[in-house]
Amino acid sequence: MPKRDDIHHVLVIGSGPIQIGQACEFDYSGTQACRVLREEGIRVTLVNSNPATIMTDPEFADATYVEPITTEVIEQIIAKEKPDALLPTLGGQTALNAAVALHEAGILDKHGVELIGADMDAIQRGEDRQQFKDVVIKAGGEVPRSAVCHSMREVRDTVADLGLPVVIRPSFTMGGLGSGMAHTWDDVERIAGNGLAESPTTEVLIEESVLGWKEYELELMRDHDDNVVVVCSIENIDPMGVHTGDSVTVAPSMTLTDREYQHMRDIGIAVLREVGVDTGGCNIQFAIDPADGRIIVIEMNPRVSRSSALASKATGFPIAKIAAKLAIGYTLDEIPNDITKATPAAFEPALDYVVVKVPRFTFEKFPGADPTLTTTMKSVGEAMSLGRTFQQALQKALRSTETKAAGFWTRPDPAGATLESTLEALKTPHDGTLYTAERALRLGATVEEVHAVCKIDPWFLDQIAQLVDLRAEIQSAPVIDEPLLWKAKRAGCSDAQIAALRPELAGEEGVRRLRLRLGLRPVYKTVDTCAAEFAADTPYHYSTYEEETEVAPSSRPKVMILGSGPNRIGQGIEFDYSCVHAVQALREAGYETIMVNCNPETVSTDYDTADRLYFEPLTFEDVTEVHHAEHTSGKAGDGPGVVGVIVQLGGQTPLGLADRLAEAGLPIVGTSPSAIDAAEDRGVFGRLLDELGLVSPANGTATSYEEAKEVAERIGYPVLVRPSYVLGGRGMEIVYDEESLDGYISRATEASPEHPVLVDRFLDDAIEIDVDCLCDGEDFYLGGVMEHIEEAGVHSGDSSCALPPITLGGAVIEQIRDYTAKLAFGIGVRGLMNVQYALKDEQLYVLEANPRASRTVPFVSKATAVPLAKAAARIAMGARIAELREEGILLPSGDGSDPGPDAPISVKEVVLPFKRFRTVEGAGIDAVLGPEMKSTGEVMGINGSFGLAFAKATLAVYGKLPTSGKVFVSVADRDKRAIVFPVRRLVDLGFTVYATKGTGLVLKRHGIDFTPVARHSGEHDETETDAVGLIASGEVDLVITTPSASTGPRTDGWEIRSAAVVADVSCVTTIQGAAAATMGIEAAARGELTVTPLQELHQRLRGAE
C-alpha cells in the first residue's frame, strides 16, 4: 500500500523537557519523523516545549510551536493549524498521554483530526495493566500472577495471597515512576501508598516477583498490511528487578538458543497483533526463568521508546523514521533500507558485532538519595559502544560513561574490600555492579558464587572472569610483547587500563608509544544491518582490533566534531544541539563532517547527521585513533585529510581532551586550548580582568582547609566554595560560616595542591546575568543577554531566566556588551563564549567566562532567531563574522544586545528530578536549589509579556498553573519583607493563605489574613495540622518557601520542600521565583494564553533587520 493521499498535514507532538526516563532519544526520533514527513511533501506542525531540541529548529517543521504540551494549548494549535492527522508515537509517554487526553476531551473528533500510527484502544490495551495481561494470555503468552488494586486494603489482601516479595507498579506513569519491589510489609505500605497517589487512575498492580530472572526486550515494527519484523533483541545483564533504563544491556541477546529466541519472537508478534498496534514501533519486555526457560511477558510500550533509540543505533535500522513512513501508509517492503540502499526495510537486522549500553548515574548530586537500583529508573544518561566481541564492547562502554573509573582496574578498590564484603555488596543492585562483580572474581570467587548472589547470567560473569585472567597475564608477563598487547586490545582494554596494571610503562602515554611502535592500531568496521551480506552505503563505524578496515578514502577536507558523551546533569542535550548545528553548518560549507560520540540517545549519533559517524568513547586514545584513520583515509583520497577538530561545542567532555589532543598534533580549531585554560585558571583569569579593568567578586584559591579559612576571613562570609574545573557546579556550595566551611572541605573535596578549592565572596541578593557571544578575533557579536529570575547563588543551569532582560536598563546592557567584548578579545575567543555576571548595587561583577558553547546556546538561538553554534563552527574554520552576516547566518547589522522594543520575551524554566529519588527510608529528598546544578532539562515559554511567558514556562514544566486555591507561605527572615507584595497579589486573585507563624505575622501586619500552620517540628499541638501534613494531603495548590541559612537534613524547610515534591505541588524556593510566579498566575488568570509558531516569531525578529 503506498503513501496515503488524504494526509497533507500532520501534527507531531514532542516529548517536552528532558527528565529521567524520557531524555533526548525522543528528540532523535521526533527529528527523524519530521524530516521524513516533510520529505514526503507533508506539512508538519510540531509542538514541543523543549528549546534544546533539534526538532524545534524552525527548518524541521512548517510550523513549530515551542509551547506547553497541554490539552488546552494543543487544542489552540489544532484550531489554528487544522492538521489532518496527529502522530503521537514518537514523543515518548508525554506525547502519547497528550494524545489520549485530546481524544478523551473530544478535541480530535471536534476538529476532524485522525490519529495515525496509533490506535486509542490499542494504547489502552498496551498501557492498562489488567487489559494487557488479558491480551497476553489471549495471545498464548504467560504473565506473572498479579492483581490490580485501587486501595490499600486490596493491596494487603493481594500481597497476602501472592506472598512476599512482590513488585508494585502504578498505572500510567513514565519510566517506572513510583514502582518498586517490596520485601517487607513496611515496603508494601510505603510503595503502594505512593503508587496509588502517583497513578493518575489511582491504580497499582501487585505482581508475583520474578526477581533474578533473565530479562529481555524485543523491538518490533508493524505495517498496515500486518507485516511484522523484530528489529532487535536486547538482553539485560542486570536481571529482573532493575529497571531496564538502569541496566547494563546487550544486543543481540547472548544466552538464548534459537528455539527460545523464536518462542519469544512468536509471543512478541502475537501480543503486538492482539494489542492491535496500528503501525510503527513497539517494545515488549520479557522475563525468562533461568531454571526452566518459562517466558513471561512483563510489559509493552505501544510507541517508539528509549529502547527503540538504542535499538536503532545498535542495528542501523532507523525505527522512528520507518515508523513515520508506516504511519502515512507505506508498508515495510516499500521502504528502502537506508544503509544498503539496495534492500528493503522489511527484514530483521543481523549483527556481526556486540553492542553494550551502560547507564550513567548522578547520585552524587542528590545527597541522601537511595542509590540502590530498583524498578524505578534513576539514571540520567547512557553510553553505548560496539565491539566485535562482548568483552571489547563492554570495556569500551565502561570507559564511555566518564565516571571516575574509566573501565576495570583504573581506580583502587574500596578500602578494606574483602571477598566477603564484595559478595555481600553484590546482593544489592547498584551503580557499578559489574565493577563489583569483577572485584569478586578477582578476589577469588567463582563464577557460580558470584551468580548465586547477583543472578547475572554465568556467561556474562565468565566473560568478566576472562578479563580477570587477562589482567593476571598482563601483570605477570615479564614484558608486554606484541601478542599480549594485541590480545589485550582485542579484549577492549584501553592504553590507560594497561598502564594501570604496568606502572613501569610510564602511564597511558607510555603504553601508547609502545603500542604504536608495535604497529597496533584499531581498524574500523561498519554497522550495516546485514552482517556484511550486502555492501553498505552509509559510513557508520566502530573500532576494533582486527585485520581489515573499512574506512573509505575521500578527498574533501574533513572536520571532526567531538560530541558530549552520555547525558548527565550539567551536560545534556544542549551540547548535542550545538554539535549537530556545527555538523549542519560545516556540511553546508563543503566540509566532510565526522562525528565522534557514544551517546545513543542523541541526534548527533544518527548516521544521517554527519557525513561519517564514529560511535566511539570520547577518550584521548579513541579520539586520536579516529583522527588517524580519517586523516589517513583523506590522504589516501588525495585530499588534505582532517583540517579541523572541534572540541568547544560538546561541553566539558571534549574540552577536557583539548590539551592532550593538541599536543598529539590534532588540529584543534576555534578558541585555542591554551585560551580555554587561561579562562579556567583563576590566577591567569584574575590578571586578565585586572588588565581589562573588570571586577570580579573577591576571591582566593586554597589547597588546604587552613588556607580556605584564611581566604574566607579575608573576603568575608558568605563565600562560594568549589573545586576548580567543574561543569554543572559539581561540589559547589555557599558557606555562611567557618563551621560549615570545615564541613564542606572534609566532605566534598580533597583539597590539595593538585585539586585546589576556589573560594569566592558570595554576592547576596545580586541579579545574575548570562551572556552568549561570538568572536572571530576582529569582530564581536553578542548573541543574547539573559537575566536570571533566581538571585545569584542558584546554579545558572537551574535558574529560570528571561531574554531579553526584563529589569536591566540600556546602560547596563551596553556595559555588559562592552565587558563581554573586552573579555572575548582578551581571552582570544574564536567562536562562542558564555559569560556570567552578577549585578549588585549597580556594580557589574564578572563571575566566570567560558570560551565554549554553553547550555544556553539553543535557548538563545531560538529566542533571537540566530543559530549561534552554526556561526561558531564556521568561525572556527576561519569564517569572519562579517561574512556570516552577509550569508544571513547572523543578523546583517546589530546583534542580540538590542532586540528591539517589539521582541517577544522568552523565559527558560527548568525541570528538576527530585520526585525520582527517595531516601533509603522512603522519604522524599531535599528539593532546594543551590550552586550545584540539579535540573535535568528545560522548557521555554515565549510571549509578548514577561508574565505570560513565565506562565507558559511554568505550565510547560508542571502541566498546570494554579490560578486560585490555597497557597502555603513560609520564608526565611531575610525574605519576609519581599514576600508581602506577591502574596497580596495572590490574595487579590482569590488565593487563601496558609503560613507559618513568623511569616504569617509579617503578612498580618500588612493586612493579609492567613491561617496559621504549625511548623513540622517545635510547638506541635496534637490537634493542629502541621505544614508537612497539609502539603502531603494535597490540599495546597502552591508552596512558597525559601531556605534559611542552615540547610542540613531535618530542618523544617527541608521537610516542607520534600513534602511538596512528593505531593507534586508547585514549589517556589526563591523570592524572585515567587514574584515571577505571581505575575504569571496573574497574567494567566486575566488573559488567554495565545500560541505563535517559531517561524512567525523569527520572521518578526529578523524582519526588523
Applying CB under 8 A, which residues contact another protein? 225-227, 229-230, 252-259, 261-262, 265-266, 290-293, 331-333, 342-344, 346-354, 388-390, 447, 457-459, 462, 466, 469, 473, 525, 530-535, 546-548, 550
At closest approach, how far in Å is the CB of 523 from another protein?
Answer: 8
At closest approach, how far in Å is the CB of 541 from another protein?
Answer: 12
At closest approach, how far in Å is the CB of 333 from another protein?
Answer: 5
Beta-sheet strand order (sheet of 991-995): 1011-1012, 991-995, 965-970, 1038-1041, 1066-1068
At closest approach, how far in Å is the CB of 484 from another protein?
Answer: 10
Residue (256 or 711) nearer to another protein, CB: 256
Residue (335 or 803) nearer to another protein, CB: 335
Residue (157 or 449) nearer to another protein, CB: 449
Residues 6+ apart with CB under 8 A from 79: 111
Residue (267 or 838) nearer to another protein, CB: 267
Residue (536 or 1079) nearer to another protein, CB: 536
At closest approach, how far in Å is the CB of 508 from another protein?
Answer: 25
d(CA 608, CA 34): 14
At closest approach, how far in Å is the CB of 539 from another protein?
Answer: 15
Radius of gyration of the chain (CA): 28
At closest approach, how far in Å is the CB of 259 from another protein?
Answer: 6
Q: What's CA 129's distance to the chain center, in Å?
A: 28
Sign (positive or negative) of CA dihedral 40, 45, 47, 51: positive
Q: What's CA 828's distance to the chain center, in Å?
A: 31
* Angle value at C-alpha 599, between 593 and 600, nearest 5 degrees: 95
Residue (115 or 231) nearer to another protein, CB: 231
At closest approach, how far in Å is the CB of 269 from another protein?
Answer: 8
Residue (221 or 879) nearer to another protein, CB: 221
Residue 1001 C-alpha cell reads as: 505575622
Residue (10 or 393) nearer to another protein, CB: 393
d(CA 244, CA 428): 16
SS3 category, 681: coil
> Do residues 831 and 876 make contact, with C-beta atoms less than 8 angstroms apart?
yes
Beta-sheet strand order (sheet of 719-723): 699-702, 757-761, 719-723, 733-735
Residue (192 or 256) nearer to another protein, CB: 256
At closest approach, how far in Å is the CB of 328 from another protein?
Answer: 19
Give the type of residue at 48: N
User: Containing H/E element for 715?
Assistant: helix 705-715
d(CA 802, CA 799): 10
| Residues 956, 957, 959, 963, Cα dihedral to 10° | -90
Residue (549 or 749) nearer to another protein, CB: 549
- Cβ atoms < 10 Å from Cβ of 752: 10
At closest approach, how far in Å is the CB of 697 from another protein?
Answer: 57
Residue (295 or 1040) nearer to another protein, CB: 295
Residue (534 or 825) nearer to another protein, CB: 534
User: Containing H/E element for 231?
Assistant: strand 228-236
d(CA 10, CA 85): 5
Residue (254 or 589) nearer to another protein, CB: 254
- Cβ atoms < 10 Å from Cβ of 799: 26
Residue (1 or 1104) nearer to another protein, CB: 1
At closest approach, how far in Å is the CB of 252 from another protein?
Answer: 5
At closest approach, how far in Å is the CB of 872 from another protein?
Answer: 38
d(CA 1001, CA 1007): 10
At closest approach, how far in Å is the CB of 396 from another protein?
Answer: 14
Whole-Å CA distances, 943 to 67, 1062, 1077, 1083, 1084: 10, 31, 15, 11, 12
Strands (E), 257-369: 280-288, 295-301, 354-360
d(CA 172, CA 482): 56
Give the DSSP per-residue string, 984-1030: HHHHHTTEEEEE-HHHHHHHHHTT---EE-B-SSSS--TTSPBHHHH
Residue 708 C-alpha cell reads as: 580556605
Residues 6+ apart with CB under 8 A from 739: none
Q: Up-side HSE of residue 41: CA atoms within 13 Å toward CB? A: 5
> Do residues 220 and 332 make contact, with C-beta atoms less than 8 angstroms apart?
no
Residue (353 or 577) nearer to another protein, CB: 353
Residues 6+ apart with CB under 8 A from 499: 505, 506, 507, 508, 510, 511
At closest approach, how far in Å is the CB of 691 from another protein?
Answer: 58
Q: Could you check whether the bond before residue 753 is cis, i.e. omega within 30 degrees of 0?
A: no
Residue (352 or 750) nearer to another protein, CB: 352
Q: With helix as H, strand as E and coil as C, how does 792-827 read?
A: ECECHHHCCEEECCCCCCHHHHHHHHHHHHHHHHHH
Residue (544 or 799) nearer to another protein, CB: 544
At closest approach, how far in Å is the CB of 775 from another protein?
Answer: 47
Residue (350 or 882) nearer to another protein, CB: 350
d(CA 808, CA 811): 8
At closest approach, how far in Å is the CB of 536 from another protein?
Answer: 10
d(CA 985, CA 969): 13
At closest approach, how far in Å is the CB of 624 from another protein?
Answer: 23
Residues for the chain: how many in total? 1105
At closest approach, how far in Å is the CB of 534 from another protein?
Answer: 7
